[in-house]
Amino acid sequence: MPTNCIRIAGLNDGEHRQAFEIKDKFFKAYEDSEVKAGKFIVNTLVVLRGLDRKLTINIEGIITNLLCDYCTKRLEWAISTTLNFVIKESKNETKSTDEMIYVFPNQHQLDINQLIFEMINLSVPNKRTHNKSEQKNGKCDKKMLQLMQEYAIKTNNETDPRWEALNKLK
């Protein structure tokens, strides 16, 4: 997997932008990633003002491997997420936080792969259905819903909450 690095030093005061494209192969390095497929554009902005360094990461894209809770068909889930960080120097290895990224005084590049991974996976919704506004071009698969309902009627009595939800849709 190529690392996605941004320049954080040796830059003039002002704004510095970079962009990266993330595709399926990015997630192969993360076995426990819930997101396995999709297409994303990562835009980074480093703002330098004297000793102050700020980093903004914006990710827009579509997750394509999630399945609908209702009809079990694939969804295309659009995400848009932005985080802001302050970059601070530290001579010792210091764990970065949600708001602060620590780098060594002589560090010129910052590998943002882990941040990209986390931001995309944090955008995974708890409930995924075709009826939410975040997803693109889709409605639940009617045939599949019908099949599931027929199956539910046959096996009856099992009170899976999903069947109840289906019945409410009628």
Task: By CB under 5 A, name the binding residues for Zn ion.
Answer: 68, 70-71, 130, 140
Find the residue with minimal CB distance to Zn ion: 68
- Cβ distance 48 to 14 under 8 Å? yes
Question: What does R_g of the chain's alpha carbons equal in angstroms?
Answer: 21
Least Å distance between CB 138 and Zn ion? Answer: 7
* Residue 74 beta carbon to Zn ion: minimum distance, rounded to whole angstroms: 9
- Which one, 3 or 131, has the nearer CB to Zn ion? 131
Q: Which is nearer to Zn ion, 60 or 76 (CB)?
A: 76
CB of 164: closest distance to Zn ion in angstroms? Answer: 16
CA distances from 7 to 42, 134, 151, 162 (A): 15, 33, 56, 48
- DSSP alpha helix (H) spans, 31-141: 113-122
123 vs 135 by CB, closer to Zn ion: 135
Min dist. Cβ of residue 23 to Zn ion (A): 25
Closer residue to Zn ion, CB minimum distance, 71 or 116: 71
DSSP class of 5: E
Secondary element (H or E) of residue 77: strand 77-89
How many angstroms from the chain centroid is the CA of residue 108?
26
Tokens coding 108: 């010129």
